[in-house]
Amino acid sequence: MARKPPSFSDVKTNVQDNVIWKSIFRPGSIYRKGYRDTSRDRALAAMNNVLYHLHPVKVKRHGLKLTYTYCLGGLSFFLFILLTITGIFLMFFYTPAAGAGTEIAYANMRDISASVTFGNLVRNLHRWGAHAMVFTVFLHMARVFYHGAYKPPREFNWVVGVILLLLTLLLSFTGYLLPWDQLALWAVTVGTNMMGYTPVFGEQVQFVLLGGVSIGPNTLLRWYVLHVLFIPFVTVIFLAVHFWRIRKDGGISGPL
């Protein structure tokens, strides 16, 4: 006698109703057995998930309207995550080394474009994603201004936001040098020449950032470390403060 294959719901029940599954998903998770569309479980779904719990359990209704936030802050964060993931992928195939006869960085760029599986797609995603992030961060700032969302008690979070804007620009600008092509070298030359005009310690600033008097192999290594480690690290700290302050200052601003 042939045994009847288990139905989908049987399999689902067996998978969900065991010690391991229950230990992974906290009570109220929509993946846990017995989730019901009630106020209690809706609250637990947000509360008992490490990522969703960035949000409060309840949010002001007017903030849901797409035309209030346009999701710009959320999209900026999403792009930051996407850039981290694609950036880590690119790091596997890139060495920040340049110099006469050993143009490794540039050779790596050509390999990523030509022979690494999905290399070109991931590099494109990283490049376009970076431009998109600068853009969404600018738009997010404009949105916040026009809603007067920096007014008390949110003054300091606006300042944190301006710092995050500067960090975004620095992240993008340090990444601009890494392909080590003519475009990168001269765009960065234009940018860093301005730094030399900083009063009092301009030359010193330029020397430290370039690792010499002009852009060379030292600059590449320095900016690589800044781009993949130092600035993302600082950014994550400010992001944490930014998100935390949104909730401490009473959630999203408004209604107008």
Partner 1 sequence: MAEEVSIDQEVYDRLIAAGTSERIARAKAKAATVRKSKIAEGASLGPRPADQAGKALEEYRSSQGGGGTAVATKTGGDDTGNGGGRLTPDERAARVAASLGTQPSSIGVPAASEHTHRLLALVPPAGIQQVQSKQMDKVYTWPHLLLVEFVALLAMGSLLLIASFFLDAPLGSLANPNQVPAINKAPWYFMGLQELLRYFHPMVAGVTMPGVGVVMLMAVPYIDKNPSARPENRKVANLAFTFFMTFWTILVIIGSFLRGAGYEWVWPWTQGLGFTL
Residues 55-94 that bind partner 1 (CB under 8 A): 55-64, 66, 71, 74-75, 78-79, 82
State the DSSP code for 150: T
Quote the tokens at residue 127: 């490049």
**Shortest gap between Cβ of 148 and partner 1 (angstroms)?**
3
Among 90, 116, 167, 215, binds partner 1 (CB under 8 A): 215
Nearer to partner 1, 3 or 37 (CB): 37
Nearer to partner 1, 166 or 240 (CB): 166
DSSP structure class, residue 7: P
Smallest distance, Å, CB 185 to partner 1?
4
Max Cα-Cα span within the chain: 91
H/E stretch holding 202 reads helix 202-210
Q: Which stretch binds partner 1 (CB under 8 A): 19-27, 88-96, 150-158, 230-238?
A: 150-158
Which helix (H) or strand (E) is 244 found in, with range? helix 231-248
List the one residue from 80, 119, 172, 227 that touches partner 1 (CB under 8 A): 172
Q: Does 216 bind partner 1 (CB under 8 A)?
A: yes
| Alpha carbon 106 to its chain's center | 25
- The span of 36-44, 87-95, 230-238, 240-248 binding partner 1 (CB under 8 A) equals 36-44
Closest-CA residue to 48 (of 73, 31, 34) = 31
Q: Which residue has the tokens 């995550």?
A: 81
Instruction: Take residue 108 and report the two structure tokens written for it.
Output: 């790596």
Q: Write out the two tokens for 20.
A: 């391991």
How does DSSP assign 63-121, residue by residue?
Answer: GGSHHHHTTHHHHHHHHHHHHHHHHHHHHTT------TT--HHHHHHHHHHHTSTTHHH
Report d(CA 194, CA 246) in Å as an integer: 35
Give the total of residues touching partner 1 (CB under 8 A).
Answer: 95
Residue closer to partner 1 (CB basis): 18 or 124: 124
Nearer to partner 1, 107 or 230 (CB): 107
Contact positions with partner 1 (CB under 8 A) in 174-203: 176, 179-187, 189-191, 193-195, 197-199, 202
The whole-angstrom separation of Cα 234 and Cα 174 is 14
Under rule CB under 8 A, which residues in 117-136 are in contact with partner 1?
Answer: 120-121, 123-129, 131-132, 134
Q: Please identify which residue in 150, 230, 238, 243 interacts with partner 1, judged by CB under 8 A.
A: 150
Q: Among 158, 230, 238, 243, which residue interacts with partner 1 (rule: CB under 8 A)?
A: 158
For the chain, how many residues are written? 256
By the rule CB under 8 A, 169 interacts with partner 1 = yes
Task: Determine the interface stretch with partner 1 among 1-9, 54-62, 222-230, 239-247 (rule: CB under 8 A).
Answer: 54-62
